[in-house]
Amino acid sequence: MTLPDQPSAITTQASTGFEEAYVVDTTDVRGDRTVLTVRDYDFHTDPTKRDPKDVASRKAAARFIGPVLRRPSKIYRESNKTEYLRYTGLVAVPELGECLKALVVTVDPTRDPHEVVTWIAKRNLKAEDTSGGLLYDAYEST
- Residue spans of the domains in the chain: they are 10-137
User: What is the mean predicted confidence (pLDDT) over 108-135?
Assistant: 93
Q: What is the pTM of this model?
A: 0.86
* 80-119 pLDDT per residue, tens: 778 999 999 999 998 998 899 999 999 999 999 999 999 9
pLDDT surpassing 50 at residue 2: no
- pLDDT at site 6: 43
- pLDDT at site 7: 47
CB neighbours of residue 100 within 10 Å: 13
Cα radius of gyration rounded to whole Å, the chain: 15
pLDDT surpassing 70 at residue 28: yes
DSSP for residue 95: G
Let me know: does 84 contact 107? Beta carbons within 8 Å.
Answer: yes
Beta-carbon contacts of residue 75 (< 8 Å; ≥ 6 apart): 29, 30, 85, 86, 87, 88, 134, 135, 136
